[in-house]
Structure 1
Amino acid sequence: MGAYLTRRVLLMALTLFGMSVLIFVMLRLVPGNIADILVDSAGIADPKEKAKIARELGLDRPIFDQYLQWIGGLVRGDLGFAYVSERPALEEIAPRIPISAKLAGLALFFSVILGVPLGVISAVRQNSVVDYLLRIISLSGLSLPSFWLGLLILMASVQWFGMIPIYTNEPRSFIDEMLLLSIPAAAVGFRSSALIMRLTRSSMLEVLRQDYIRTARSKGASQTTVNYVHALRNALLPVVTIIGIEAAFLVGGLIVTETVFNIPGVARFLVEAILWRDYPIVQNLVMLIAFCVVVVNFLVDMAYMALDPRIKYAD
């Protein structure tokens, strides 16, 4: 166990290092930079002024030196300064992280709390009216884009309640914020719940056909025990994987939702920083997303070990 955890941690570190190099190099390969944008927006035609701006931002230094400076700052907790606002990048990013984290957490909560139970019900009642109805709902969730569903929710709120549930002002309390975020979270989580429900159904159907399930039934085990003790635990293994993938997707996949509902989160801020070629903001935000994805994959591996005692990792 200890050797496996050590290998996984080292693999995480190696993956993050590779991601940091890829992020840094690809960002500089994109045509244009912040100096060009600032010069064009200010109407400056003098090449000397452009060179001065590039020198002040450190863009005239070798790319290797820029990379070492960035990585050294990450290790020290110094994320640099945002080029546009000229404020520390940490001050720009930190207030937005909790907002996106709450939105992603609520969306994942809705996905799991709806997807797994409904998938089990659909499998247990295979080919019944309930099963057909749930399958239609799941197909609707997979085919309906979240941004379109968000727009429909906004129009329905205006039509029925005379208000728009968007992030216009700072919520007065934690409960108010959760209620405000629950609407976009449900819009995003609807697609994820449909995917989880279909995977749970197919996994449950496969497990329910296994020999040990028939043996449990022949020994007199109740239907509830067979379905929710013997079958569900083994059926959850592929479901845990897709939940981890969806959690990683939600970390950086909330761009459209945050834009539609005017939520000042990380994903929306990332798009704005990309448009301005604000290197410190883009680098740190993409690195944050990569870190979250790697950690989620690690947690999925740990969940596999907890759910299935047959999985043994040799030291």
Structure 2
Amino acid sequence: MLSYIIRRFLLMIVTLFGMSVLIFLLLRLMPGNVADILFDAGGYIDPAERAQIEAELGLDQPIVVQYVNWIGSLLRGDLGYSYITERPAIEEIAPRIPVTAQLALWALVFSVVFGVPLGVISAVRQNTALDYVLRLISLSGLSMPSFWLALLIIMFTVQYFGYIPIYTATPQSVWESLAMYAIPAAAVGFRSSALIMRLTRSSMLEVLRQDYIRTARSKGASENAVNYHHALRNAVLPVVTIIGIEAAFLIGGLIVTETVFNIPGVARFLVESILWRDYPIVQNLVMFIAVVVVVVNFVVDMLYAVLDPRIKYSD
């Protein structure tokens, strides 16, 4: 087990290294840089000032040197300086991470709380009217774009309650956070809950057809014991995988939702920074999202051994 954890950890480090190289190179392949944008916006070009800005950003150095300097700064906790806002990058990024994290957390909670139980019910009540209704709801969730659902929610609340559910202040407690993020979390979590529901249903149906389930029933086990103790425990692994994928996706996939609900989070700020070619902000935000994705996948791999005792990792 220990050797497996070490191998997975080393693989995570290698993956992050590859992601950092890819992020760095792709950003440099984009046409234009922050110096071009600054001077285009001003309507004039001063070669001396432009060269000075490029030197301060390190854009005049070889690309390998730029990459090494960036990684070294990251390891020291120095995220650079934003030329657009004229503030340290860490001061721009840090306040936005909790905002996106809370929204993603509530969306994930919504997805799991509704997706897993409804998927189990749909499987247990296969081919009944309830099953057909739940399958229709899940298909609607997969088909409906989250931004369109968000706009419908805003129009509905304005029409019937005279209230616009947009971000107005930083919540100070769990209940304030829930009240603030409940509507946008439901809007973005509806698709995830539909995906989790369908996967839970298919996984449960596959397990319910196994021989040991029939054996448990023949021994007189109750339906609740068969469905929740035997079947669900063995059907949960693919569900955990998709929950981990959705958790990683939500960190960087909230761009439209944050824009519609006026939420000053990481995803919305990333798009704005890309438009301005703000290298320190873009590099570090994309790297942060990559770290979240890789770490979540690492945690999911570790959960396999906990949730399924049949899995053994040789040393």
For the aligned pair, the TM-score class normalised by the smaller chain equals over 0.9
Q: Secondary structure at the match of 1:122?
A: helix
Does residue 11 of the first structure (1) align with residue 11 of the second (2)?
A: yes
Partner in structure 1 of residue 98 of structure 2: 98
User: 1:56: how far off?
Assistant: 2.6
Partner in structure 1 of residue 42 of structure 2: 42
Relative to the length of structure 1, the TM-score reads 0.98
Relative to structure 1, the CA distance from residue 142 to residue 215 in structure 2 (aligned partners, 3 Å threshold; closer, same or farther) is: same
In structure 2, C-alpha distance between the alignment counterparts of 1:209 and 1:173, rounded to whole Å:
46
Does residue 33 of the first structure (1) align with residue 33 of the second (2)?
A: yes
Trace 1:40-189 onto structure 2 (pairs within 5 A). Answer: 40-171=40-171, 173-189=173-189
In structure 1, C-alpha distance between the alignment counterparts of 2:308 and 2:53, rounded to whole Å:
58
In structure 1, C-alpha distance between the alignment counterparts of 2:207 and 2:174, rounded to whole Å:
42
Amino acid at match of 1:224: N
User: 1:57: how far off?
Assistant: 2.2
In structure 1, C-alpha distance between the alignment counterparts of 2:173 and 2:115, rounded to whole Å:
29
In structure 2, C-alpha distance between the alignment counterparts of 1:172 and 1:199, rounded to whole Å:
36
User: 1:299: how far off?
Assistant: 1.0
User: 1:113: how far off?
Assistant: 0.5
Deviations, residues 100-140 of structure 1 (Å, cap 9, x unaligned): 00000000000000000000000001111110110111111
Question: What RMSD, in angstroms, separates the aligned Cα atoms of the two structures?
Answer: 1.1
In structure 2, C-alpha distance between the alignment counterparts of 1:9 and 1:269, rounded to whole Å:
30
Does residue 295 of the first structure (1) align with residue 307 of the second (2)?
A: no
In structure 2, C-alpha distance between the alignment counterparts of 1:80 and 1:199, rounded to whole Å:
43
Amino acid at match of 1:97: I
In structure 1, C-alpha distance between the alignment counterparts of 2:161 and 2:298, rounded to whole Å:
44
Relative to structure 1, the CA distance from residue 305 to residue 183 in structure 2 (aligned partners, 3 Å threshold; closer, same or farther) is: same
Partner in structure 1 of residue 211 of structure 2: 211
Amino acid at match of 1:296: V
Relative to the length of structure 2, the TM-score reads 0.98
Partner in structure 2 of residue 22 of structure 1: 22
Does residue 197 of the first structure (1) align with residue 202 of the second (2)?
A: no
Structure 1 gaps, min length 5 = none
Q: Percent identity?
A: 75
Structure 2 gaps, min length 5 = none
User: Which region of structure 1 is more displaced relative to structure 2, 272-281 or 298-307?
Assistant: 298-307
In structure 1, C-alpha distance between the alignment counterparts of 2:67 and 2:159, rounded to whole Å:
52
User: 1:95: how far off?
Assistant: 0.3
In structure 2, C-alpha distance between the alignment counterparts of 1:75 and 1:52, rounded to whole Å:
26
Amino acid at match of 2:34: I
Amino acid at match of 2:106: L
Deviations, residues 273-306 of structure 1 (Å, cap 9, x unaligned): 0000000100100100000000110111111111
In structure 2, C-alpha distance between the alignment counterparts of 1:266 and 1:256, rounded to whole Å:
12
Partner in structure 1 of residue 273 of structure 2: 273
User: 1:171: how far off?
Assistant: 4.1
Amino acid at match of 1:238: P
In structure 2, C-alpha distance between the alignment counterparts of 1:218 and 1:304, rounded to whole Å:
29
